[in-house]
């Protein structure tokens, strides 16, 4: 199925795009289907000026554009309402500047995180993020979705690490904000506005990040508990001990079983730092629970499940005091559930879940002063249950009126009342 009824000027718009963009950047549109929508046309430019031209031309002809690279978070946000042009950004994959001694790197948006991490690792550094589903995630996608994993709360997230970006706006303008220095309050932080905005205000072309030294040693430890609340209290003690932790995750029995541990409520801890700090932390942990070497691949499993686009994935924001309760609630709703204590979130995975069950979980989360974000679910469910949460729709609409007045970018991702 193709998006929306054919409009009189669509043909003219497609022709204009073909005229303005080099022929070798056009791709077969069918390869870019998202859910039940197939774009009319697809381009994979390898130059930021081409991206700008594409956006301006599309805006002139009211063609909707969906930027993408690794296609790892297509089910995030409300379902697309229109999809004329696929904008494949994988051609933008250069590292523009990397100064290891400055701990900063500037990379183009289409670069997969994996490639970036490899380059950084050569200098003993890394970008301290672990987004779902894995390091296939493109740099642009990392920012546009702002998703984190088990490290969130222990290490700064993408939101905290982005120092500046350049975006292409539907007007065709290329706009920078921030810079390449690690501390900067020059002007509005537009890069924070774009982070997590699901492309609502522009297409991210490149970003500068603050990177960190790779830890010399890492160690994963697991401790089983008799109940989720006991597991939560062990996790809590581990957190309060201020150790060299990079992750403290509470697993319900089901996911524990999936990562090769006994099917019991489990605390999974990752230590990272110098050998001495990891050893000391291991000793300190032993003071209040019995730990065994945990499955290091368990983290990758959890990330993959969190990033699964075929199932139903919920991210339930819950203050640390409510993690256990929300974990139980998610489990009761039939989900595989685990909670990242310091991040204040429970991830619930299910093959499917009814809208009313999701709504009930959301209400419970909000009572605990948290929130619920639908990170993946079938289209009909995402039409019934708003994926987002708090925010101010009027301000968001006013900002979009400035940056994307005809709503050509990712139309539908952020539903607006009173707008088609």
Find the binding residues for other proteins in span 19-78 (CB under 8 A). Answer: none
163-182: which residues touch other proteins (CB under 8 A)? 169, 173-177, 179-182
Q: Out of 192, 237, 258, 383, name the contact with other proteins by CB under 8 A.
A: 192
Nearer to other proteins, 92 or 243 (CB): 243
95-99 and 104-108: which strand pairing?
A: antiparallel
- Helix locations, 213-274, DSSP H: 228-240, 253-258
Which distant-in-sequence residues (6+ apart) come within 8 Å of 83 by Cβ?
A: 3, 34, 37, 38, 39, 64, 66, 411
**Which residues, 6+ apart, have CB-to-CB distance to 132 below 8 Å?**
72, 147, 149, 303, 304, 305, 306, 307, 375
C-beta closer to other proteins: residue 7 or 159: 159
Closest CA to 181 of 108, 97, 119, 117: 97
Shortest Cβ 201–other proteins spacing (Å): 8
Residue in 183, 226, 417, 418 binding other proteins, rule: CB under 8 A: 183
Residue with tokens 């290891």: 100
Q: Which is nearer to other proteins, 72 or 128 (CB)?
A: 128
Residue 323 contacts residue 339 (beta carbons within 8 Å): yes
User: The tokens 């989360």 sit on which residue?
Assistant: 365
Tokens of 407: 């709503």
371 binds other proteins (CB under 8 A): yes
Binding part of the chain for other proteins, among 4-12, 32-40, 219-227, 339-347 by CB under 8 A, reads 339-347
The yes or no reply on residue 402 touching other proteins (CB under 8 A) is yes
Q: Is 280 in the site for other proteins (CB under 8 A)?
A: yes
Minimal distance, residue 24 CB to other proteins, in Å: 28
What CA–CA distance (Å, rounded) separates 148 from 126? 15
| Binder of other proteins out of 156, 295, 334, 415 (CB under 8 A) | 156
Using CB under 8 A, pick the residue from 23, 395, 417, 418 that binds other proteins.
395
Element (H, E) at 248: strand 245-251
CB of 319 to other proteins, least distance (A): 4
Tally the C-alpha atoms within 13 A of residue 213's C-alpha that lie toward its C-beta.
7
Q: Which stretch binds other proteins (CB under 8 A): 26-34, 79-87, 111-119, 235-243?
A: 235-243
Per-residue interface string for the shown chain with other proteins, residues 209-228, x marking contact by CB under 8 A: ---xxx-x------------
Q: Indicate whether 325 belongs to the interface with other proteins (CB under 8 A).
A: no
- State the distance between the two ends of the chain, measured CA to CA, in whole angstroms: 19
352 forms part of the interface with other proteins (CB under 8 A):
no
The answer to the question of residue 197 lying near other proteins (CB under 8 A) is yes
Q: Which of 157, 249, 312, 325 binds other proteins (CB under 8 A)?
A: 157
Q: E strand or H helix at 305, and its extent?
A: helix 297-306
Distance separating alpha carbons of residues 133 and 149, to the nearest angstrom:
9
Smallest distance from the beta carbon of 120 to other proteins, in angstroms? 13
From the list 59-67, 338-346, 351-359, 377-385, the region that binds other proteins by CB under 8 A is 338-346
Please state the closest distance from residue 300 (CB atom) to other proteins, in A.
21
Task: Identify how many contiguous H helices and E strands the chain contains and give both numbers.
Answer: 14, 19
Nearer to other proteins, 351 or 401 (CB): 401
Euclidean distance between CA atoms 141 and 147, whole angstroms: 9
Please give the C-alpha separations between residue 50 and each of 69, 73, 223, in angstroms, as whole numbers: 16, 24, 53
**Binders of other proteins: how many residues, by CB under 8 A?**
84
From the list 19-27, 219-227, 256-264, 313-321, the region that binds other proteins by CB under 8 A is 313-321
Task: Determine which helix (DSSP H) or strand (DSSP E) holds 26, and give its type and residue range.
Answer: strand 26-27
- Taking the complex as a whole, the smallest distance from the CB of residue 344 to other proteins amounts, in Å, to 4
| Contact between 232 and 249 (Cβ < 8 Å) | no
Q: Which residue in the set 358, 370, 381, 407 belongs to the binding site for other proteins (CB under 8 A)?
A: 370
Contacts of other proteins in 85-144 (CB under 8 A): 99-104, 124
Nearest alpha carbon to residue 152 among 348, 345, 389, 307: 345
């Amino acid at each position: 199925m193709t998006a929306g009824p054919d409009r009189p000027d669509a043909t003219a718009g497609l022709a204009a795009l073909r005229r303005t963009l080099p022929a070798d950047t056009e791709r077969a549109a069918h390869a870019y289907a998202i859910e039940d929508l197939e774009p009319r046309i697809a381009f994979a430019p390898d130059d930021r000026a081409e991206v700008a031209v594409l956006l301006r031309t599309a805006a002139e002809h009211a063609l909707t554009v969906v930027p993408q690279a690794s296609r790892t978070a297509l089910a995030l946000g409300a379902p697309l309402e229109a999809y004329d042009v696929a904008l494949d950004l994988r051609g933008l994959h250069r590292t523009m500047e990397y100064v290891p001694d400055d701990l900063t790197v500037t990379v183009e948006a289409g670069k997969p995180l994996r490639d970036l991490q490899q380059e950084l690792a050569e200098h003993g550094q890394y970008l301290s993020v672990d987004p779902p589903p894995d390091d296939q995630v493109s740099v642009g996608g990392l920012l546009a979705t702002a998703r984190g994993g088990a490290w969130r709360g222990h290490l700064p997230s993408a939101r905290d690490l982005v120092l500046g970006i350049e975006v292409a706006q539907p007007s065709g303008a290329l706009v920078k904000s921030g810079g390449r220095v690690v501390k900067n309050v020059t002007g509005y932080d537009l890069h924070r506005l774009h982070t997590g905005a699901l492309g609502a205000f522009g297409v991210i072309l490149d970003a500068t990040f603050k990177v960190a030294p790779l830890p010399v040693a890492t160690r994963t430890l697991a401790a089983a508990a008799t109940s989720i609340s006991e597991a939560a209290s062990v996790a809590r003690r581990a957190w309060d001990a201020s150790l060299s932790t990079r992750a403290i995750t509470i697993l319900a029995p089901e996911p524990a079983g999936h990562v090769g541990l006994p099917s019991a409520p489990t605390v999974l801890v990752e230590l990272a730092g110098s050998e001495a700090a990891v050893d000391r932390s291991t000793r300190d942990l032993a003071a209040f629970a019995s730990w065994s070497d945990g499955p290091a691949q368990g983290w990758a499993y959890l990330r993959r499940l969190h990033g699964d686009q075929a199932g139903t994935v919920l991210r339930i924001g819950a203050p640390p005091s409510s993690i256990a309760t929300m974990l139980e609630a998610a489990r009761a709703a039939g989900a595989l559930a685990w909670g990242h204590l310091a991040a204040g979130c429970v991830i619930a995975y299910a093959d499917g879940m009814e809208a009313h069950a999701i709504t009930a979980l959301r209400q419970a989360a909000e009572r605990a002063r948290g929130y619920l974000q639908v990170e993946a679910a079938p289209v009909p469910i995402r039409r019934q249950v708003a994926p987002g949460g708090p925010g101010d729709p009027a301000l968001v609409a006013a900002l979009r009126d400035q940056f994307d007045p005809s709503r050509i970018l990712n139309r539908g991702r952020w539903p607006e009342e009173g707008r088609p």
